[in-house]
A and B are shown apart, each in its own frame.
Chain A
């Protein structure tokens, strides 16, 4: 049962951030149809909790729900996509690929087009992809990302650094 109270809060706290929610869901799931499912699902969870929840930062709060919904949705519908590799394993693999000499690839990166950027981001492992998307596309702070992902802030920072290094290596190497 939805009360007026929850409904009013929903209008104030969820609806203004629907574009953000959809954007995050699209990056996490990799396609628009699934993103719509995830957002609708997440909004329903948000509405259900608004009866009693104390929400200080509605945007980060909603994006956290979207993120968790997306991961459980993918776990159920696309179990192969969610590879739950430990952080250290991923980080080591990432470090091995690091180019030792950053050079004028900066120019190549700056020239990367939308399609190249998109495919590079979608190719990242999910736990790396989400930090880049939350930070650079949703504009969330480190603290908000840590809260949303349930990871310590130091871990968020390592993941972000590795994810960006991978993206920069990929986009900065001549095709």
Chain B
């Protein structure tokens, strides 16, 4: 389609801004244009109203339990040709062979050839998962699912995907600007991970419910596969930061985050 889509249609730019898909320079450009052009600003407000209405008013439906049960059963059956209680007739083998082949090809191309797969295991599952997520992000160069320095964009983005509220603070003032967020999976639970920048390094901070709902513990250092880890709990939430920064700097990050999170709790809620 169009090579330079922004030139002839500013609404593409507005949409990209709204979706947190612009880099800092692009975002700045949009801010300037919005300030200078009331019609454009009105269009932006209209799009934002639509986006918010879709996100907040449409219910996120859970997959029905019966479907979940069928899918789980399907994977457990030693011979996959016989899923329990199929709803319609399934003629699998012939139907899927060509599809599966083309699909695999697509996935192979799409994934760029990395093969990082972590075995689930009882011990240190959390550490394992977040370090793997960190390595994967660095290798692929795609560390975030949503790229934005605006914490008010990241927080609602998590809202539909993760159980419980996620603490999102910007630490630009402390030298750790927010880059964005992504979903990691620990065991079978999707968890929220925030990405912060420090020079050419990144810090991934994962938040999830702690085993003890009242737990509040001081930060504790660890290293794993050469990466620094910092873990603490705060009112029943477990926070784990992982980075390739030296321990002193990840300490500073932990302190800044805890400070900002505490300050945010004091702040009156935004309308």
Contact = CB atoms under 8 A, between A and B. Distances in A.
Contact of A105 (B46, B71, B185): B46
Contacts of A54: 107-108, 111, 113-115
B135 to A, nearest CB: 12
Interface in B43-96: 43, 45-47, 49-55, 57-64, 66-68, 70-72, 74-80, 83, 86-88, 90, 92, 96
Q: Which of B57, B70, B116 has the most chain A CB atoms inside 10 A of its CB?
A: B57
Contacts of A49: 100, 103-104, 107
Interface string A1-29: 11000011111111111111111001000
A165 interface: yes
A53 B108 contact: yes
Given A26-B61, A54-B107, A137 B54 contact: yes
A161 B15 contact: yes
A30 interface: no
B188 A114 contact: no
Contacts of A154: 1-3, 5
Given A161-B11, A168-B47, A132 B54 contact: yes
Interface in A34-76: 36-37, 39-40, 43-45, 47-49, 52-59, 61, 65, 68
Given A12-B185, A36-B67, A45 B57 contact: no
Contacts of A58: 185
Contact of A16 (B19, B43, B60, B188): B188
Contacts of B15: 157, 160-161, 164
Contact of A59 (B2, B5, B183): B183
Contacts of A155: 1
A152 B1 contact: yes
A136 to B, nearest CB: 5
B12 A40 contact: no
A3 B51 CA distance: 43
B146 interface: yes
The number of chain A residues touching the other chain, given as a range, is 35 or more
Nearest to B64: A36
A118 to B, nearest CB: 7
Interface string B107-131: 1101111111101100000000000
A175 interface: no
A8 B121 CA distance: 11
A12 B1 CA distance: 37
B107 A53 contact: yes
Task: Give the secondary structure class of A's interface.
Answer: helix
B39 interface: yes
Interface in B135-161: 136, 140, 142, 145-147, 157, 160-161
B29 interface: no
A56 B80 contact: no
Interface string A135-163: 11101111110010000101101101100
A106 interface: yes
Contacts of A19: 60-63
Contacts of B262: none
A44 B42 CA distance: 46
B71 A161 contact: no
Contacts of B104: 49, 52-53
Interface of A: 1-2, 7-23, 26, 32, 36-37, 39-40, 43-45, 47-49, 52-59, 61, 65, 68, 87, 101-103, 105-107, 109-110, 112-114, 117-118, 121, 132, 135-137, 139-144, 147, 152, 154-155, 157-158, 160-161, 164-165, 167-168, 171-172
Interface of B: 1-3, 5, 9, 11-12, 14-16, 19, 21, 39, 42-43, 45-47, 49-55, 57-64, 66-68, 70-72, 74-80, 83, 86-88, 90, 92, 96, 99-100, 103-104, 107-108, 110-117, 119-120, 136, 140, 142, 145-147, 157, 160-161, 183, 185, 188-190
